[in-house]
């Protein structure tokens, strides 16, 4: 069973957490476990690691792949990180460091279990649910939202220039849209060839639908508030984001804490992958790491 996902900004995020072997750390996005396992390896028997993921397939993979390294001080919980406050009520100690990696794992893109996260998987259905407990799928949004509402969605969450044209074409051809390929081909028809870069022109539409299905931005706002509230003094929150909507939320929140005197920004500039990392792992190229320490 080959491991697919390469953890982004691994060295930088571990350094940012400033790990103490006896302390309590949280990885809010377990994914393939790349960040979590390295945190665990730096803890002794008194240290504690809590890893959270709402994707049952990710948790199943980690428990199989790392079965020989899982110890009693590594707690793995299936949940949305927006419910971190409920989870932390089970613990008597406060976390000293919290990592939130907002990227999709390579496994979710390449082995999505028929959920249609990648616009390259043409035969897959338009699902896009991280948790199978969610009721609304991407296709449900295409069916249920009006042309105007879809336009707003693509502009707000995808920053899509041709949102109106795409929404209009979707509603006109909705009975013919069932799979990833159906949607990507429609977007290719709508977006002018002169504005089609080397990247798939449907990527922004897919981003917008995935964000909406999983309520990603509201969940991010919630977990930031909860994390800072429960964090120990001198504890740190490290967030790795991959697009401007996420990064803006993190930047604004961290700046507000710094201005109020509740936190200290530990890097004046955002931390990005080195040229070497971006070359080895192209998916890391857009990653941004921000760090704040609680006063």
pLDDT tens for residues 92-121?
999 999 999 998 877 777 778 899 998 889
User: What does the pLDDT read at residue 94?
Assistant: 98
Rounded Cα distance, 290 and 238, in Å: 6
Q: 261: which 2 tokens?
A: 């005197």
pLDDT at 3 over 60: no
pLDDT tens for residues 209-229?
999 999 999 999 999 999 999
Rounded Cα distance, 257 and 236, in Å: 12
Rounded Cα distance, 166 and 162, in Å: 6
Q: Where in the chain is the domain with CATH 3.40.50.150?
A: 10-108+216-294
**CATH for the stretch 131-214:** 1.10.150.170
CA dist list (Å): 48 to 71, 75, 152: 10, 8, 43
pLDDT tens for residues 175-209?
999 999 999 999 999 999 866 666 789 999 999 99
CA dist list (Å): 47 to 28, 52, 94, 229: 17, 17, 12, 21
Cβ distance 34 to 10 under 8 Å?
yes
Residues annotated in the binding site, as ranges? 33-35, 53, 81, 101, 108
User: What does the pLDDT read at residue 2?
Assistant: 54
Rounded Cα distance, 284 and 277, in Å: 7
Rounded Cα distance, 205 and 283, in Å: 18
Rounded Cα distance, 272 and 246, in Å: 15
Cβ distance 183 to 202 under 8 Å?
yes
pLDDT at 146 over 60: yes
Q: In percent, how much of the chain has pLDDT > 70?
A: 97
User: What does the pLDDT read at residue 113?
Assistant: 87
User: What does the pLDDT read at residue 6?
Assistant: 85
> Which residue blocks in 22-83 are alpha helix, DSSP H?
34-40, 56-65
Cβ distance 279 to 3 under 8 Å?
no
Cβ distance 213 to 138 under 8 Å?
yes
pLDDT at 169 over 70: yes
User: What does the pLDDT read at residue 112?
Assistant: 80
Task: Name the CA dihedral angle for 140, 143, 145, 151, rounded to a multiple of 10 degrees.
Answer: 110
pLDDT at 4 over 80: no
The length of the chain is 295
CATH topology of domain 10-108+216-294: Rossmann fold (3.40.50)
User: What does the pLDDT read at residue 199?
Assistant: 76
Q: What are phi and psi of 238, to 5 degrees?
A: -120, 125
Mean of the pLDDT values across residues 41-63? 97
Residues annotated in the binding site for S-adenosyl-L-methionine, as ranges? 33-35, 53, 81, 101, 108
Q: Where in the chain is the domain with CATH 1.10.150.170?
A: 131-214
């Amino acid at each position: 069973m080959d491991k697919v996902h390469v953890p982004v900004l691994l060295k930088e995020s571990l350094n940012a957490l400033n790990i103490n072997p006896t302390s309590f750390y949280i990885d809010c996005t377990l994914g393939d476990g790349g960040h979590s396992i390295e945190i665990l390896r730096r803890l002794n028997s008194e240290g504690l690691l809590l890893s959270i993921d709402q994707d049952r397939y990710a948790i199943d993979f980690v428990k199989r792949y790392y079965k020989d390294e899982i110890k009693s001080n590594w707690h793995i919980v299936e949940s949305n990180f927006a419910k971190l406050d409920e989870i932390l009520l089970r613990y008597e100690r406060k976390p000293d460091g919290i990592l939130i990696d907002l990227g999709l794992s390579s496994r979710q893109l390449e082995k999505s279990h028929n959920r249609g996260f990648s616009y390259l998987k043409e035969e897959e259905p338009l699902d896009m649910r991280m948790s199978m407990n969610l009721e609304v799928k991407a296709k449900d949004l295409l069916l249920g939202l009006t042309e105007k509402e879809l336009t707003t969605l693509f502009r707000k969450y995808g920053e899509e220039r041709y949102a109106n044209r795409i929404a209009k074409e979707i509603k006109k051809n909705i009975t013919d849209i069932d799979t990833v390929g159906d949607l990507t081909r429609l977007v290719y028809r709508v977006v002018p060839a002169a504005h089609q870069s080397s990247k798939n022109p449907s990527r922004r539409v897919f981003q917008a639908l995935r964000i909406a299905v999983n309520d990603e931005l509201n969940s991010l706002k919630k977990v930031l508030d909860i994390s800072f509230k429960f964090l120990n003094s001198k504890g740190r929150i490290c967030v790795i984001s991959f697009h401007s909507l996420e990064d803006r939320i993190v930047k604004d929140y961290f700046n507000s804490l710094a201005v109020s005197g509740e936190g200290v920004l530990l890097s004046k500039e955002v931390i990005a992958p080195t040229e070497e990392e971006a070359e080895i792992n192209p998916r890391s190229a857009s990653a941004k790491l921000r760090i704040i320490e609680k006063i």
